[in-house]
Amino acid sequence: MEKLTFASDDQTMGTDLERGQTRGIQSFNIEEGRRRSMRAETEKLKGSKSSNSKKSAKAGDAKIEFNDIKYHKTPLDELFSQFSSSRGTGLTSSKAAELLKTVGPNQPTPPPSHWVRRTLGYLFGGFGAILFIAAILVFIAWKPLGEPNPAIANLALAIVLILVWIAQAAFSFYQDFSSSKVMESITGMLPDKCVVLRDGQQVNIDGTAVVPGDLLRITMGNKLPADVRLVEVSPDVRFDRSILTGETLPLLGSVDLTDDNYLETANIGMAGTHCVSGSAWGLVVETGDRTCFGKIAKTVSAPKEGLTPLQKEILIFVGVIVCLMVTMILVVIIVWAAWLRKDHEGWITVPVLIVSCVSVAVAFIPEGLPIAVTASLTITAKIMKNNKVLCKSLKTVETLGAVNVVCSDKTGTLTKNRMTVTDYIVGKEVATAAKATALYEASKSLRELARIGAICNAAEFDASTISEPLEKRKVNGDATDTAILRFTESVTVVSSLRSAWRSIYQVTFNSKNKFAINVVQSSSENENDPILMIKGAPDILIPRCSSYVDSNGFVEKMTETDRRELEAVKDNWSSQGKRVILLARKNLSDLVFDPQSQPREYENDIMGHATSELVLVGLVAIVDPPRDEIPEVIQILRTAGIRVFMVTGDFKLTAVAIARECGIITQPKDKIDDITNLAFEDEYLDSIGIKETRSFHTDRAHAIALSGADLDTLTDSQWDKLCKYEEIVFGRTTPSHKLRIVKELQSRDLTVGMTGDGVNDAPSLKAADIGIAMGSGSDIAMEAADMVLLESFAAIVEAVKYGRVVYDNLKKTIAYLLPAGSFSEFWPVLTNVCFGLPQILSSFLMIIICCFTDCAAATAIAYEKPEADVLTRPPRNARKDRLVDWKLIMQAYGFIGVAETLCSFAMAYWYCERQGLQFSTLWFGFGKTQDGRDPAWQTDVLNTASSIYFVNLVVMQWFSLFAIRTRRLSVLQHSINWYLPPAIAFALLIAILFLYVPKFHSVLGTAVVPVEYWFLPMAFGTMILLIDEARKFGVRRWPKGILAKVAW
């Protein structure tokens, strides 16, 4: 796990997160050189550009700023003066109370709930405002405009509209509701009580009452409630910062500055960290949101800004529908005002006009869509959970379906995190680990390698399995240490080696130093000088070695030739995907500090000794094989059009080798580009006569490998070029590089998924379109992520599949809802206004179709299984591809909508003709009664005709439901959805309820439908199903033909 540190403003490319060190105060040449080069590159870039492009600005948006905090550098006397405090008495009670009012309680501030805005959004967002206004208008049309004979049907319609409005708001609330308890879990990481010095007395106060200037008493077991500057420390005081840094070994506290970085120095105690030994006094310098912990909490708990791709698509769809609706309402009002009001005054009164306008709105609005969307997301999230994928928000379920780039970590994500030593080198002689046991007794150098491997090692065999065979023993410790421990135990007895030596002082491995130290002394010969044993990254330690142990166990001077040979072995192993660890030692003499009473000085001295004159004992190669399923997973994602980039802190050569094993890199070694391929523009190379052998315009995959240091130097044009590569490996990266990669990819219209498991990954997980945490990761990483893979990275295949299925099923849902719930409902209103025909489908029955008969089936569509091609087509472009495009409109309106409308009109008016009510009487009749007939009779006939229109739509929709189940495959090739029959049965029962219960007839204008009008729509529906099957056959038969091009 990597640590969290923060860079100052002058550091490269606007990054704010840097890997840091929790141990050691000495700045080594290699690190200083890198920092200087990074700063120089930054200045160069600043000088060459007068302003940053939009891409660069966007790439630097997500930051955690510390605003040049100087508390760790400011003299203590100045700090006491600044906070009106003193060493002897602390703050006065009155000053503390005043500060508490000024700075507020010491606790992270929960993100603003905006409950008023959110509630208004639930009620009036989307179609909510239209439904609410429509309900109010219909109430007005009922009373007072309907006086003296208010229509009960209008009251019923208004009540139903209100119920639909409330139901939509409820489903919108449920969709937005998140069970994440980020702030609760973060607040629980801070202490409830603490001891401070006030008015010269030690008092026990609530952790929330601590204020800047308080003098805090820190003892073993205490959790720090705020950031403090250490004033007094015992020699053995240590702080566990793992919650912030991921480093497991406690940091030795100090009153002196040990690092210029606020998060690195040992004279600062961080809120949320533990004191694991010793005691101290600390001056509180920051509380609440201003602490390091508070800033992280604010970043993690803050909701993502902007809309998800699905929300954007639905918003666009709502906008289109509203525009159409408003246009048609204006047409109705203009026709009424310019013609009907004058020439046919009694045909449409003001109350009727209001109901007509509301009917247009009801016709266009697919009221069942919010219910169907929420149901679809909920159902899919449940299916994904069954596949070990936890979606923290319904809104993000679909986002993964649009992802076209996944940035994945290596260790534990793509690999098994079960490391094994495969090779070693001692005395410049390379051997396999399998031969070590046979060579152990005869090789003095191998025995020394085993000694360091056993003693400079934090891993331990679990006592409960110590008697088991080696391969079955459980080991507690880091994966690298575990591999070396098992290797050592395979050639000798580790416990015997360890019992012969006494540890004096240890420096743990961390992500910046990249080495671990154990200073030991022989248990039987205390008069001997201590020995410094060290293991770590060869690229860091080889330059510090001046000699090596040869094959006979003698120390030889290391020449440049020897270094080159060792580097060659290291690079060869790294190119095979092996992690290389160097083990060395150094005899110590004339140590002037005592590790017990002067731990800080002793550590500084040891770190100084570790910079030079080391004796190289040997190298070991460790393999962490890819998970068995990963190559197949990568191939599936590549087939699905998703590029997988590796982002790791490992050595670049090692990362490339593992990437090749995983299938992320498919190019041969000599075809993998590096930063030099990005250094020049293609136009410049052409101008000087250099032709690149690899062109971006070929179909062949291109690969490039870069280090984190390379990323710091890239310009916008180089990022543009980089983002065109199909295969990318980022090695030696920090969490800040992850954040940078995410923002740069997003700024180039890519939808990015980012995996992570550490505390430091939280910003990049938060910034990504879909943050993906591993179930084995840190709590904060999982809180920041949108999705958690509970078991294996392989689950991402199911996540992508069902992310796409959500989008596909929503398209199917809309294609199902629009024909009957929009198109076929609008024409009765338009013919009523423009052609004087009766409104052959009542507004109430329109609502019944949208919210009842169609809604159940639309929800059932969410259970549709993935189609066969779901993972063989490229991801949709979230910025260009629309949920509802002209192709879907053609399917819903131009084909099914027209067919259902014409058949429903035909059935309704055919019934009228059969009953003696001639169509010629109704055509431009404007309420004219059939000659010789009673108006009541005509009303009954028209009510029955309206019910027939309703039944025709309901029944034809059953067949439309089967037609839209697949977009290209035959419905016979698709698996059965057992939720459809109950949905159809529900629609049938609803229709029977409102048509065959006599009490509804007089109030709602419904009627009993003759039995033959139930079976004729089945013939029409079968015709629709067969025609659509023929269309799908044409799409499959001629994939590049006209039918395929217009297929939805």
Q: What's the chain's average pLDDT?
A: 82
Do 992 and 864 belong to one domain?
Answer: yes
pLDDT band with cut points at 50, 70 and 90 for residue 161 = confident
Q: ∠ CA(613), CA(618), CA(623), 5° rounding? A: 130
How many domains does the chain contain in total?
Answer: 4
Task: List phi, psi (to 5°) of 835.
Answer: -120, 10
Do 279 and 315 belong to one domain?
Answer: no
Strand ranges in 526-569 using DSSP code E only, listed in sequence order: 531-536, 545-549, 555-557
Residue 339 covered by a domain: yes
Which of 346-360, 433-447, 758-772 tops mean pLDDT? 433-447
Residue 105 covered by a domain: no
Question: Which pLDDT does position 686 carry in this prediction?
Answer: 61
CB atoms within 10 A of CB 81: 11
Does residue 817 have a pLDDT over 80?
Answer: yes
Asked which of 275, 301, 327 is the last residue of a domain, the reply is 301
* Measured distance CA(324)–CA(320) in Å, rounded: 6
Helices 444-455 + 479-491 axis angle, to 10: 140
Residue 106 covered by a domain: no
* Measured distance CA(947)–CA(838) in Å, rounded: 13
* Sequence-distant (≥ 6) Cβ neighbours of residue 229 within 8 angstroms: 71, 72, 76, 79, 267, 268, 269, 282, 283, 285
Position with higher pLDDT, 29 vs 1013: 1013
pLDDT band with cut points at 50, 70 and 90 for residue 21 = very low
Asked which of 791, 822, 840 is the last residue of a domain, the reply is 791
Question: Which pLDDT does position 785 carry in this prediction?
Answer: 82
Instruction: Determine what percent of the chain is predicted with pLDDT higher than 70.
Output: 86
Question: pTM, whole model, 2 decimals?
Answer: 0.72
pLDDT digits (tens, 9 = 90+) for 229-262: 999 988 778 888 776 765 656 788 888 888 887 8
Task: Mean pLDDT check: name the lowest of 101-105, 146-150, 614-618, 959-963.
Answer: 146-150
Does residue 412 have a pLDDT over 70?
Answer: no
Which of 6-15, 185-194, 303-312, 321-330 tops mean pLDDT? 321-330
Task: Mean pLDDT check: name the lowest of 36-50, 400-414, 760-774, 914-928.
Answer: 36-50
Question: Which pLDDT does position 526 carry in this prediction?
Answer: 58
| Helices assigned H by DSSP within 49-147 | 54-59, 76-82, 93-103, 115-124, 128-142
Question: Which pLDDT does position 681 carry in this prediction?
Answer: 61
Question: Which pLDDT does position 638 carry in this prediction?
Answer: 92
Nearest to 644 by CA among 862, 796, 538: 796
For the chain, the straight-line distance linking the first and the last C-alpha, in angstroms and rounded, comes to 46
Q: Provide the residue range defining the domain that includes 170.
A: 120-177+306-388+799-1046
Task: Mean pLDDT check: name the lowest of 80-84, 204-208, 680-684.
Answer: 680-684
pLDDT band with cut points at 50, 70 and 90 for residue 974 = confident
Question: Which pLDDT does position 610 carry in this prediction?
Answer: 92
Question: Which pLDDT does position 23 carry in this prediction?
Answer: 33
Question: Which pLDDT does position 314 carry in this prediction?
Answer: 82
pLDDT band with cut points at 50, 70 and 90 for residue 980 = very high
C-alpha radius of gyration, the chain, whole number: 37
Supply the CATH number for residue 241's domain: 2.70.150.10
Does residue 680 have a pLDDT over 80?
Answer: no
Do 215 and 359 belong to one domain?
Answer: no
Residue 848 covered by a domain: yes
pLDDT digits (tens, 9 = 90+) for 539-574: 899 999 999 999 888 999 999 999 999 999 999 998
Question: Which pLDDT does position 622 carry in this prediction?
Answer: 93
Asked which of 746, 765, 791 is the last residue of a domain, the reply is 791
Supply the CATH number for residue 774's domain: 3.40.50.1000
Does residue 863 have a pLDDT over 60?
Answer: yes
Question: Which pLDDT does position 604 carry in this prediction?
Answer: 85
Residue 679 covered by a domain: yes
Supply the CATH number for residue 471's domain: 3.40.1110.10
Average pLDDT over residues 878-902: 89
Does residue 19 have a pLDDT over 70?
Answer: no
Do 745 and 711 belong to one domain?
Answer: yes
Element (H, E) at 373: helix 369-386
Do 879 and 952 belong to one domain?
Answer: yes
Helices H, strands E: what count in the chain? 41, 29
Residue 887 covered by a domain: yes
Does residue 965 have a pLDDT over 80?
Answer: yes
Do 405 and 448 belong to one domain?
Answer: no
* Sequence-distant (≥ 6) Cβ neighbours of residue 707 within 8 angstroms: 652, 730, 731, 732, 733
pLDDT band with cut points at 50, 70 and 90 for residue 62 = very low
Do 609 and 646 belong to one domain?
Answer: no
pLDDT band with cut points at 50, 70 and 90 for residue 760 = low
Question: Which pLDDT does position 193 carry in this prediction?
Answer: 82
Do 379 and 493 belong to one domain?
Answer: no
Residue 108 covered by a domain: no
Instruction: Determine what percent of the chain is predicted with pLDDT higher than 90.
Output: 33
Active site residues: 409
Nearest to 834 by CA among 345, 362, 364, 334: 334
Question: Which pLDDT does position 53 carry in this prediction?
Answer: 38
193, 206 contact by CB (below 8 A): yes
Does residue 1007 have a pLDDT over 90?
Answer: yes
Do 319 and 234 belong to one domain?
Answer: no
Question: Which pLDDT does position 1 carry in this prediction?
Answer: 35
Question: Which pLDDT does position 282 carry in this prediction?
Answer: 94
Position with higher pLDDT, 361 vs 149: 361
Does residue 904 have a pLDDT over 70?
Answer: yes
Do 1015 and 876 belong to one domain?
Answer: yes
Q: ∠ CA(732), CA(735), CA(736), 5° rounding? A: 100
pLDDT band with cut points at 50, 70 and 90 for residue 66 = low
pLDDT band with cut points at 50, 70 and 90 for residue 220 = confident
Question: Which pLDDT does position 415 carry in this prediction?
Answer: 81
pLDDT band with cut points at 50, 70 and 90 for residue 9 = very low
Distance of CA 91 to CAs 10, 213, 225, 509, 779, Å? 36, 6, 17, 40, 36
Do 333 and 237 belong to one domain?
Answer: no
Average pLDDT over residues 1016-1042: 93
Residue 766 covered by a domain: yes
Question: Which pLDDT does position 285 carry in this prediction?
Answer: 93
Does residue 192 have a pLDDT over 60?
Answer: yes
Average pLDDT over residues 59-64: 44
pLDDT digits (tens, 9 = 90+) for 584-626: 999 998 788 888 778 878 888 998 999 999 999 999 999 988 8
Average pLDDT over residues 387-405: 81
Does residue 8 have a pLDDT over 50?
Answer: no
Average pLDDT over residues 828-853: 89
pLDDT digits (tens, 9 = 90+) for 442-488: 899 999 999 999 999 988 898 888 888 988 888 888 788 999 999 99
Question: Which pLDDT does position 223 carry in this prediction?
Answer: 86
pLDDT digits (tens, 9 = 90+) for 422-448: 999 998 889 999 999 999 998 999 999
Residue type, 450: A
Question: Which pLDDT does position 35 carry in this prediction?
Answer: 35
Task: Mean pLDDT check: name the lowest of 419-423, 513-517, 1033-1037.
Answer: 513-517
Q: Residue 282: beta bridge partners?
A: 216, 230
Do 664 and 567 belong to one domain?
Answer: no
Does residue 1011 have a pLDDT over 90?
Answer: yes
